[in-house]
Amino acid sequence: MENIKTKQSRGKRLLQYIRKNRLIYLMMIPALGCWLLFKVGPLFGMVIAFQDYSPFKGILGSPFIGLENFMRIFKEPYMLTLIRNTVLLALYTLVFSFTVPVAFALFLNELKNSLVKKGVQSISFLPYFISSAVMVSILYTMVSPTTGVINMMLVKLGMEPIYFMAQPGWFRPLYVILQIWQTCGYYGIIYMAAIMSIDPSIYEAASVDGASRWQKMMKITLPGIKTTVVVMLIVAVGNIFSVDLDRILLMYNPSVYETADVLQTYVYRLSFQSTGFPDYGYATAVNMVKSVIAFLLVILTNKLSKKYAETRLF
């Protein structure tokens, strides 16, 4: 008897709760539905990594083949090249596009003229909003062997023109240069904000003690932004597998595959540029291995940043 009573009142309370929130629920339905369908929905499609997927049979009709797709990954000799390219590209990007903005922000902060400071900051931030297609188009124009400004200068200096876009050795440097160009100002702003939050009285005290400008930069400013730098580094390590796919797809061509082909571009070609029936199951398996490693890295780095900087990233 008592049991039923509490059940009833619980039901009543739930009903009351729903009634109180009914407008919130109503508002939530389209937005949440949109997000569930388009962002969470595809996650279920990942089962095709365990299937011999055929578009005609669909996900429900295709036979499960266990880990066969994953076993194929280990047998594929080209996978080694892909992994090496992915990791190397990510490492180069990490080293350069991470250190350059720190130095940039440090020296930008030393500018006395605030108008110049603002101007430099605004201009350097602009490339962050320019699309990969535009950036790569500009790159092609500038390094063109016949009409590009770079090769014209090389010729003037008495050198042979270089076919930048067709040489595997040039792919990584060009990719990293574009990365620095695109993100230097963006990270510069983050570091500048960290510098601004340093207590000015520390600098005054140092000046009284006769510290030089260089000493202040190295002993106050740099340690002052240490936390931000470390958090940014951890984020960068966590994202090490997320290369800029748009940029690579626009930059590469078969003659530079030996350095430019990474896991993501390989998956893209398997699924959208293969002749005959694309091997969706296998391509998804490759992508899944990458995603799992990336996921573990992000979780690990999030733990690290929590421990180190006392701020979680999410």
Partner 1 sequence: MKRKHRKIKLFDVVNSIVMILIALVCVYPFLYIFFQSVSDGYSLVNGEVVFFAKGWNLEAYKYIFQNTNLNIMQGFRNSAVYTVLGMLFALVMTFILAYVLTRRSLKERFAIRKLLVLSWVFEAGIIPTYILFSKLGFVDNPLAMVIPNAISTQYLMITMSFFNGIPEELDDAAYVDGANTFQILWKIYVPLSKAIIATIGMFYAVMIWNQYLFPQIYLKNPKYYTIQQILKNVVISDDGGTRTFPTVIQNGVLINPQNLKAATVFMAMLPIVCVYPFVQKYFKSGILIGSVKG
Q: CB-wise, 4 or 49, nearer to partner 1?
A: 49
| 274-298 b/e (C-beta count within 10 Å ≥ 16 → b) | eeeebbbbbbbbbbbbbeeeeeeeb
Q: Does 255 bind partner 1 (CB under 8 A)?
A: no
Candidates 37-45, 66-74, 86-94, 199-207; binding stretch for partner 1 (CB under 8 A): 37-45
Considering the complex, what minimum distance in angstroms separates the CB of residue 246 from partner 1? Answer: 5
CA end-to-end span of the chain: 47
Lookup result for tokens 């770079």:
150
Q: Which of 141, 167, 215, 274 binds partner 1 (CB under 8 A)?
A: 141
Q: Which amino acid is residue 23, in one-letter code?
A: L
Report 150-179 residues binding partner 1 (CB under 8 A).
Answer: 152, 165
Q: Cα–Cα distance between 307 and 47 in angstroms, integer?
A: 35
Candidates 77-85, 87-95, 138-146, 199-207; binding stretch for partner 1 (CB under 8 A): 138-146
Report 218-237 residues binding partner 1 (CB under 8 A).
Answer: none
CA angle 210, 212, 214 (to 5 degrees): 155
Q: Does 245 bind partner 1 (CB under 8 A)?
A: yes
Residues 84-113, one symbol each (x = binds partner 1 by CB under 8 A, - = not), give --------------------x--xx-xxxx
Q: Which amino acid is residue 77, in one-letter code?
A: P
SS3 assignment for 138-156 = HHHHHHCCCCCHHHHHHHH
Q: Does 56 bind partner 1 (CB under 8 A)?
A: no
Q: How many residues belong to the site for partner 1 (CB under 8 A)?
A: 87
Q: Cα–Cα distance between 191 and 181 in angstroms, integer?
A: 16
Q: Which of 17, 64, 78, 277 binds partner 1 (CB under 8 A)?
A: 17
Candidates 5-13, 64-72, 73-81, 143-151; binding stretch for partner 1 (CB under 8 A): 143-151
Q: Does 211 bind partner 1 (CB under 8 A)?
A: no
Backbone phi, psi, residue 51, to 5°: -120, 160
CA angle 81, 87, 88 (to 5 degrees): 85
Report 182-201 residues binding partner 1 (CB under 8 A).
Answer: 184-186, 189-190, 193
